[in-house]
Structure 1
Amino acid sequence: MRINTISAYETSAEQFFDALASWDVDLLLDTRLKNTNQLAGFTKKNDLAYFVPKLLHADYAHDKLFAPAPTMLERYLHGNIAWDAYADAYREDMREREAVPQFYDRYGAYQSVCLLGTATRKRRSHVEVLKEMLEAAHAE
């Protein structure tokens, strides 16, 4: 399985869908907590549920199991904790949820998965940590 990450922010629809197509994605896994408000733009849940199958002939899933804990995310977004502390807390949360084995149970049949997160030029996203965890588990 190939795993890529992409952000819902600071990208055009053309760049977003071209990247997914170049990776030959067969699943876009949305791991965001909030994906229905106006800030999500063209990446709102219902829009992606339509566009991904239509344009990419791929599946779209929104799975909050892989989303960060709301309080931890808010602390990171507001600068109350640094990236390393946030990433460590996210890793621990994923271990407690047993998220990695569940990922492979739910999505292990896919060949090319893209994890949708919320990185910007100024902040990183939990999906890069999730990708590392998934690849480490797959290598074992």
Structure 2
Amino acid sequence: MKIHTIGFTKKSAETFFGLLRTSGAATLVDIRLNNVSQLAGFAKRDDLRYFVSELCGMEYTHQPDLAPTQPILDDYKKRGSDWATYEDRFFELMARRGIEDAIPRELLDNAVLLCSEDQPKHCHRRLVAEYLARRWGDVTIEHLS
């Protein structure tokens, strides 16, 4: 099983959709808490659904259960909580939600997890992929740059 990840920030539409197209993935799984912000540009939910279908031949789905809660995000982004605390809180949240049982494996097999951060190092998409890889055991992760 392979899970790809991508962020749209600091990428042109050409680069972003090119990476999706060449990944060979079948589905783009949007794991953002808020996917309709004007700041998202070409990555707003309805536009993105259209673009990935037309430009990449991919399906689109939004899975907010794979996103952190607003308080976890706010503590990290607005109140200066450190990354290690964010990671711990988000891993605990995923465990409480039981995402390894709640999200069908078929949905994420050869799929791309999408969030906004340009790099995976400090991004929840990496944490979701790593959490599921530990739980499911047969997952390869590829971060699309």
Structure 1 length normalisation: TM-score?
Answer: 0.89
Q: Identify the residue that residue 48 of structure 2 maps to in structure 1.
A: 48
The equivalent residue for 1:134 is 132
Residue deviations 1:72-105 (CA, integer Å, cap 9, x gap): 10111125211111011001001101112222x2
Offset at residue 115 of structure 1 (A): 0.5
Overall identity of the aligned pairs, in %: 32
Displacement after TM superposition at 1:29 (Å):
0.4
Highest RCO, 1 vs 2 (Cα 8 Å, sep ≥ 6): 2
* Matched residue SS, 1:108: helix
Q: Secondary structure at the match of 2:5?
A: strand
Aligned length: 137
1:109: Cα distance to partner? 5.2
C-alpha distance in 2 between matches for 1:110 and 1:94: 16
CA RMSD of aligned residues (A): 1.7
What letter is aligned with 1:89?
R
The residue type paired with residue 69 of structure 1 is: T
Letter in 2 for 1:49: R
Change (3 A) 1:110 1:34: closer
Task: For structure 1, list consecutive stretches of 5 or more residues without a partner in the other structure.
Answer: none
Distance 1:35 1:109, change over 3 A: closer
Structure 2 length-normalised TM = 0.87
Cα shift at 1:35: 1.2
> Are 2:17 and 1:21 aligned?
no
Deviation at 1:110, TM superposition (A): 5.4
Does structure 2 conserve the Cα–Cα contact (< 8 Å) formed by 1:10 and 1:120?
A: yes
Structure 2 distance, partners of 1:117, 1:137, is 21
What letter matches 1:126 in structure 2?
Answer: H
